[in-house]
Every structure is written in C-alpha cells, then in structure tokens.
Structure 1
Amino acid sequence: MISYAYVPMSFKTIIATVFFLTMITGICACIFVGKKQGRCKQILLLSCTSIIAAMLCLYASVIPAERAKSNIPAISLWFAQQPVIFPLLAWFAIAVFLVMVIAEEYTRRRSTITVSSIKESLDQLETGLCFSYPNGMLMLTNHRMNKLSHAIFGIPLQNANLFWDALVSRQPVDGVVRIASGEHPEFCLPDGSIRTFHREELDGILQITAADTTQQHHLMEELQIKHRDLEEMNARIRRYGDKVDEYVIARERLETRINLHSFLGHALLMTRHHLQYKSGDTQKIIDIWQRNIDVLRLEAEPQQETDSISSLKNAAAAIGMQVHVSDRIPANAPIRKLIASTGAEMLTNAVRHAGAKQLCIDTEETDAEYIIRYTNDGTAPDTPIAEGGGLSTARRKIEAAGGRMEIQSAPRFMLTIIFEKGGMMGV
C-alpha cells in the first residue's frame, strides 16, 4: 500500500486541505452544537477534532521535506511512511460522524420551538408585528414592521411609543399617503398597498400590528360605487313612479283617439257605401254616428267586441267587403287583437286607395316566427307606398310589441308582419 511520502504533491495538498476543512467543521460543531447534544457527544466531537488536527499537523510538516529534511520531526517522518489509506479511513469516519451530529442538530432545531424559530416564523408573516414594554423599549419586531417603518417615515423602528406617535400624527415621506389617523392609522404605500395599524395591551405588553387591508379597501370602493349606482337607479325609479299615472292617462287617451279614429273611419266607409250603392240599414248607420258623437262628447266609451277578428269581419261586411282569414291564425287574444287592428287599417286603405272588395290575411308559423301577410284584390299602386298616419300608427304598435313590419308595393301591395316567438313584448 502506498504511503503518504510517495503521494504526488497535488494529492498531498488536497488531503491537507480536506483535513483542514474538516478540522474547522469540528471546531464549529464543538462550539455551537456540542453543548446541546450532551456531554458524551461533546467529548467525541473534541476527540475527533483533535485527531484531525493532529493528522493535519503531521502531514503538513512533511510537505517541505525535499527542501529541509533535517527540520522534520521523527514522528512526522514515521507517520509519512505509513499507508495513507488508514488516515483516510479515519478521516471518513470522523466526517460521517460530524455530518450525523450536524443533521441531528438541524432536525432538532426544526422540530423544537426556540426563540430563534419564533423569530424566523414572525419574519415570514405579511403582517407587521411589534411587541414592546410599556416604556416603548422593543421586545420583538419582525422584518415586515421594520420595512414599514423605513417605507413610511424613512427611519428604523427603535422605540414603540415614538413609532406609534409618528403613526398618529407625523407626516409620512413623499409617495406615502395618509388615509386615516386616530386609533387605526392607515397609509397607502407607493406600491399601492394599504396598511392599517392597531395597538393594544396584552398582559402588560404593548402590541402594534400592521395588517394589509388593500383588498378590503378595494371592496369598499366597489360597494360605494354600486351604492351610488343603486341610489341613482332608485331616483330614476321614483321619478318614473311619479310619472306613471301621467303616462297611463296619456296612453289611455292615445288609445281612445286611435279607436275613435278607427270608428269614425268605419262610419265614413259605411256611409259612403250606403250612398253609392243604396244598401245597408240606414238606422244602423245613424246609430253608429250617434254613438260616435256621444264618444266625442265623453258621454260614452267606444264600443268594442270581444273577438277582434269577428269585429273586423263585421266591419268589412258593413261596407260590402269580405275578409278571408287563414285558419292558422294564433289563438292568443292579444296577438289576434294586433292582427285585427292592423287589418282594420288595411281594410280602410284597400277601399279608399285601391277600390278593393276582398282583404286576405294569411298566417304562417315556423319554428321561430309568426308571419302575417295582408293582401287585397284592388288596383296595384303605381308608386311606392308612403306611410301616413294609419300605417305609421300600425308600425309603432308592431315594433312596440317586439315585431317588425315590411311593405311591398310591386307587383301588388302586400304588408307583412313578423314576430319572433318568445320575443313579443306586451303581447
């Protein structure tokens, strides 16, 4: 087996360096770990460190042998002639022992609550903490509170009472905005975060906390905005409520005027038909005019039949016209009423402008829509139809109910109403 004396110089240097580092580790373990591991391990640590130190000294004294052999102690020369494997095995055993001792101490510190572990835990908190005696002398602070003191006032935290007085009344540095004073001082920091401070006494110990209330402030701002929106909405609802009665009265008056216009138009058509063709019941025509006069005098209400489609057919028959209605017309009463009111306008226009004798109302139902078409057998218009009072009124009613109206002039007149199923309003 090769001895240390015949090992190359580079390996000798490596061995000496490893022994030196192991000796330093052993010394540190003796100082910082030995007392906490018990007397037995403390003695073992001292012994192992001494052995490593002795081997280091013996090997180091042999390195300059080529230059001054006469100055080398005899024991060093003897040690250098021994197989190098034995000191290396001893070093390996000592190194393993040191690693085990250090690992055991690390595990013990991780599982044992100590002053340093408490301090480390407090330093990990996002909340700033400061504990002090009643005179303001600091007992314990974490890193977060120290950073806040620097960020808000630009000075370190040295006295808790002075720090609290500064939180209550002192002007912060530029970039920091004071939000509140008093018992709960609040500050907005340059990064946009908001800190709320609170002080209380716990068994003679003063505690100052600095909580991050950024999210709470944002939520409060959102609630205030929503509250303002609700107040504006309530104001609009109150204004609307104040005008509801006026709106209802105005709408009833408009409906009365529209119905009256329709009844007067119907009476005029009946009178015209009677004068031209000498047909119809004269007394019935006189009664209709008398009732219209009573309505104008506000002595009666416009007379309406229960079925709007039947009313349309009766009105057409009174002026010598026929109304053909599709069998597929919806049974819904409001829809039938809207179809009939539009049909009454089509009836009047067909007689006055086209000389028609028949009005056809055809209804088509698809999966998504109701389609109602109005046609007549009168003369086709020469020019595009311009919407007047009657057609404009019909369009407003249809669009208010969620439908749309289309007018076709060529090759013959046709008015189309389209309602989407589920999209009808007020119908």
Structure 2
Amino acid sequence: MRIFELNSSEISWIFIVGMILLAFSLRIMIELMDIKPKSAAFLASVVTVLVNLFLVQMLAELGSRRMLLSKPFLNLGAFSFVSFLFGIAAVQVALFIKLRRIRKSQIGKNSIKESMDNLPDGLCISKMDGTPALVNRQMQLISYEVFGKHLVNDVRCEKLVREYKISEKTKILQKNPLVIEACGKIWLFQFIKDKEKKYRETIAYNITREWGVLGEIKKKNQEIKAANKRLSEYQMAALEYTRQKEILRSKIEIHDKMGQALIYFRHYLDKKDKTEDERKGLVQLWNESLVVLDENENEGEEVKDALWKKLLETAESIGVDIHFTGTLPQGENDKNTFISIVHEALNNAIRHAEAKNVWIDINEDGLRINLTIKNDGHKPSSEIKEKGGLKNIRARLKICDGKMSIDTSEVFTLRISWLKGESYDL
C-alpha cells in the first residue's frame, strides 16, 4: 500500500502520533539547548525535530489533498512511512536517556533551585530589606503554616514572630534562639547577614528529634534533682543518727571512765599502805578521764579546729608531745573521722604504752586520706587483739571504706587510709 492510498481515518491516527513525537522531540531539543548546546546530542535533536516536522507536514498535505512538499514522496510505502516514525521515536528515547545523564553530571539554571527545594530544612536568601531572592519549598510551607500565606518579606516575618503575631496552629517554644513548632515539626531559626551586608539568610533547621531528646534530658534532670534532694535528706538523717550515736558512746565512755576512776580512788583512800606505783596508776586513770571529758566538751562545736586544738592542749597537759605533720582534712566528715581516730590512738598510747611522744602524719592522694600514727611507748609483749580503741577505729573506718594495718617491728605504728568525701555515711 502506497502512502497516498491511506484513508482519512488512518492518516488522522498517524498524524496524531507524529504530533506527539514532534512535541516530545521539541522539548528534548530545548532542554539540550539550555544544558549543552554545543553537543552532538543537541545536533541530533535538531535533526530529529526537522525530520519529524517534515513527516507531519506530509501527513497534513495528504489529509488536505494539497500536495506541496509531499508530492515527490507519494509513492512511498505506508509501512516505510510508519517505520520512519518508529525510528524517530527510538532516536528520541535515546536522546532522552542522554539528557538524563547530562542533567546528573551538570548544573543547569534550575539545578540550584531544585537542590534547595529538596533540602529537609527551610532556606530563604533575601535582600537586607527582606525581599526574597531564593526561597525553597520547605520554607514556603513553614511560612504558609505560620502566617497563612507564602513568604513575601523575610524581615517582616521575623518581626511578626517576635511579636507573637502568628497562626494559632503554631507555637513559639523558645524566643532566643527562636524555636517554633509548625507543620508537625520543631524548627530552630537562624538569621545570618553576609559581611558586605547585601543579603541575609534565614535557615529553619528541623530539630524535632533533638528537641524530643532535650525534653527527655530535662525530665531526667528533674528526677535526678528530686532524687538528690531525697538523698540529701537521708544523708542529714544519717549524720544526725551518727552524731547521736557518738554522743551516746561518749556518755557511756565518760560514765565508765569516771566510775572506774572513782572506784579506784575509793580503794586507794581505804588502803593503809599506799605505794608509789598505785599513786601513778591513779594519776594515769584520771588523766585518761580528762582526755575524754575535754573531747566531749567540744563535741557540739561546728568548727572542729577548736576540738583538735583542745586535744593537743590536753595531751600536752598530761606530758605527751604530739608531733603533727600535714594539714587537717577540709571535709567535715573527714575531720570528724581524723579526730576520732587520733583520740582513740592517743588513749591507747597513754593507757597501754605509757607513751611520751606521738607522731602523726596525714596526707591526701586525690581520692583517699592517708594517716600514720606512731608512739614511743612500750611495745606489746604479745599478739595484739583488736578491742577497745582499735576496735572502735576499725568500726569507724568501715563506714568510709577505710583500711588499717598495725606494725610493731620498730615502734608501734598505725597505718590508716579512708575514702575522702562527704557522702560515704550513706
């Protein structure tokens, strides 16, 4: 069948297909001219458009029966004509694939705008008077949600937000820096001016996840504060319990010492033949009682330095020299522990060893306090059993992760350390 033998209906259908191919080829040519006009692909698109245009013109002349350009091709077979159209379609598909590859490898006039529109954050670049030069899609959505219209002036919008003149659907969560809830998300706004002060940039960062984490942190901090308050109350109660316990222990100790001294004194007075050793023993017993009384007179003082000074004066008054190296601990609990241990060690040195000199060395190594106490009294004649004063020291150290060792190789030596701090009473 020749092309001129086609009826009107067949020509119309082929004409429609040709026009579609022509429109498609024109679009490809225009885009290639915009992106890469000096390429072989652009030249091929121009040739495709011209061939496609010629074929459409032939169909138009066949339909109107006014032969101009198509007259030399009337004997062309219909199958060949349709094959030309399929060939054009194949070339257009190849050019379209080529166009997509070029788009991915090059930046065109609209590439920057398309990239900005695909950002998850809002972006607006405007002149210093607020006139927008570039606004991406997300910023327009935020503007429509906050103000009910698209962004037309950046400076004006910032002023309205600062004055809380916004839609009821949105909420200002924080004013400085500006944080707004809009479009079901949380946005952090940042306003930047360039060095030349020609343009300003407004960025809306999506911080929905970060804001949620911040809320969780604030909630946890409140719970921690409440827990700390309860712990502080418990610590105060524990300290009060310890204080009352120490007071009770001191009262019992005073009662025992005074009772023992009075009984011994009564026995001494009733005895007819009094020896010098018995008199020294009586004086020794009263000296021990004096140390206990002097300590408990200062038990209620808030400033423990006075108690330490009084302890030194008491030791001096009964003929015992204390050689002290280091500085007193700063913490109240540490100072209480130190004075309590020294008192017990001093009692033992006077009572059991009849010491005349006591050496005390204290230092800190960051986390722990180290204490060494020596005396020049009599060495123990048998194995030392921890009772009385040593037992009290061991019990005191237990509540503060303390350690104690005894060395009698040269002189009687106590090596003690405990965890520094204010919270170990818990």
In the alignment, the residues of structure 2 paired with residue 40 and residue 201 of structure 1 have an alpha-carbon distance, to the nearest angstrom, of 44
**Gap change, CA 1:10 and 1:196, over 3 Å in 2:** same
Name the SS of the counterpart of 2:110 in structure 1.
helix
Residues 33 and 102 in structure 1, CA contact (< 8 A), matched pair in contact too = no
Residues 34 and 45 in structure 1, CA contact (< 8 A), matched pair in contact too = no
Match of 1:101 among 89, 95, 99: 95
Superposed, 1:59-138 pairs within 5 Å as 59-63=59-63, 72-73=66-67, 76=70, 79-138=73-132
Q: Give the TM-score of the pair, scaled to structure 1.
A: 0.50
**Gap change, CA 1:188 and 1:39, over 3 Å in 2:** closer
Offset at residue 199 of structure 1 (A): 0.4
User: Which residue is equivalent to 1:186?
Assistant: 179
In the alignment, the residues of structure 1 paired with residue 17 and residue 134 of structure 2 have an alpha-carbon distance, to the nearest angstrom, of 41
User: Which residue is equivalent to 1:200?
Assistant: 192
In the alignment, the residues of structure 2 paired with residue 212 and residue 251 of structure 1 have an alpha-carbon distance, to the nearest angstrom, of 59
Structure 1 vs Structure 2: percent identity of aligned residues?
A: 19
In the alignment, the residues of structure 1 paired with residue 186 and residue 85 of structure 2 have an alpha-carbon distance, to the nearest angstrom, of 57
User: Which residue is equivalent to 2:20?
Assistant: 21
| Letter matched to residue 236 of structure 2 | D
Offset at residue 127 of structure 1 (A): 1.0
How many residues in Structure 1 have an aligned counterpart in Structure 2? 245
In the alignment, the residues of structure 2 paired with residue 136 and residue 153 of structure 1 have an alpha-carbon distance, to the nearest angstrom, of 16
| Letter matched to residue 94 of structure 1 | I
Asked if residue 163 in structure 1 is aligned to residue 157 in structure 2, the reply is yes
User: Which residue is equivalent to 1:53?
Assistant: 53
Name the SS of the counterpart of 1:200 in structure 2.
strand
Quick check: 5-14 or 230-239, which moved more?
5-14
C-alpha distance after superposition, 1:17-74 (max 9, x if no partner): 222212222333343324633276655544433333333232333346xxxxxx5438
Residues 200 and 206 in structure 1, CA contact (< 8 A), matched pair in contact too = yes
Unaligned runs of 5+ in 2: 247-426
In the alignment, the residues of structure 2 paired with residue 166 and residue 189 of structure 1 have an alpha-carbon distance, to the nearest angstrom, of 15
**Gap change, CA 1:112 and 1:16, over 3 Å in 2:** same
Match of 2:143 among 134, 138, 149: 149
Match of 1:218 among 197, 212, 217: 212
In the alignment, the residues of structure 2 paired with residue 173 and residue 37 of structure 1 have an alpha-carbon distance, to the nearest angstrom, of 48
C-alpha distance after superposition, 1:91-131 (max 9, x if no partner): 33333333333322221111112341221121111211111
**Gap change, CA 1:154 and 1:6, over 3 Å in 2:** same
Unaligned runs of 5+ in 1: 65-70, 253-427
In the alignment, the residues of structure 2 paired with residue 137 and residue 109 of structure 1 have an alpha-carbon distance, to the nearest angstrom, of 30
In the alignment, the residues of structure 1 paired with residue 137 and residue 242 of structure 2 have an alpha-carbon distance, to the nearest angstrom, of 69
User: Which residue is equivalent to 1:367?
Assistant: none
C-alpha distance after superposition, 1:353-412 (max 9, x if no partner): xxxxxxxxxxxxxxxxxxxxxxxxxxxxxxxxxxxxxxxxxxxxxxxxxxxxxxxxxxxx
Name the SS of the counterpart of 1:158 in structure 2.
coil
**Gap change, CA 1:175 and 1:49, over 3 Å in 2:** closer
In the alignment, the residues of structure 1 paired with residue 210 and residue 26 of structure 2 have an alpha-carbon distance, to the nearest angstrom, of 53
In the alignment, the residues of structure 1 paired with residue 231 and residue 40 of structure 2 have an alpha-carbon distance, to the nearest angstrom, of 87
User: Which residue is equivalent to 1:417?
Assistant: none
Residues 132 and 152 in structure 2, CA contact (< 8 A), matched pair in contact too = yes
**Gap change, CA 1:38 and 1:87, over 3 Å in 2:** farther
In the alignment, the residues of structure 2 paired with residue 63 and residue 98 of structure 1 have an alpha-carbon distance, to the nearest angstrom, of 26
| Letter matched to residue 140 of structure 1 | L
Offset at residue 78 of structure 1 (A): 6.0
Asked if residue 33 in structure 1 is aligned to residue 32 in structure 2, the reply is yes
Offset at residue 90 of structure 1 (A): 2.8
In the alignment, the residues of structure 2 paired with residue 172 and residue 75 of structure 1 have an alpha-carbon distance, to the nearest angstrom, of 66
Structure label with greater radius of gyration = 1
Offset at residue 172 of structure 1 (A): 1.1
In the alignment, the residues of structure 2 paired with residue 190 and residue 50 of structure 1 have an alpha-carbon distance, to the nearest angstrom, of 50
Q: Give the TM-score of the pair, scaled to structure 2.
A: 0.50
In the alignment, the residues of structure 1 paired with residue 86 and residue 70 of structure 2 have an alpha-carbon distance, to the nearest angstrom, of 21
Name the SS of the counterpart of 2:169 in structure 1.
coil
**Gap change, CA 1:41 and 1:230, over 3 Å in 2:** closer
**Gap change, CA 1:210 and 1:43, over 3 Å in 2:** closer
Offset at residue 151 of structure 1 (A): 0.7
**Gap change, CA 1:189 and 1:63, over 3 Å in 2:** closer
User: Which residue is equivalent to 2:3?
Assistant: 4
Residues 21 and 52 in structure 2, CA contact (< 8 A), matched pair in contact too = yes
Name the SS of the counterpart of 2:191 in structure 1.
strand
Residues 150 and 156 in structure 1, CA contact (< 8 A), matched pair in contact too = yes
In the alignment, the residues of structure 2 paired with residue 97 and residue 244 of structure 1 have an alpha-carbon distance, to the nearest angstrom, of 90
**Gap change, CA 1:33 and 1:74, over 3 Å in 2:** closer
Residues 131 and 139 in structure 1, CA contact (< 8 A), matched pair in contact too = yes
Offset at residue 209 of structure 1 (A): 0.8
| Larger RCO, structures 1/2 (Cα 8 Å, 6+ apart) | 2
Residues 34 and 41 in structure 1, CA contact (< 8 A), matched pair in contact too = no
In the alignment, the residues of structure 1 paired with residue 244 and residue 164 of structure 2 have an alpha-carbon distance, to the nearest angstrom, of 65
In the alignment, the residues of structure 2 paired with residue 231 and residue 47 of structure 1 have an alpha-carbon distance, to the nearest angstrom, of 78
User: Which residue is equivalent to 1:345?
Assistant: none
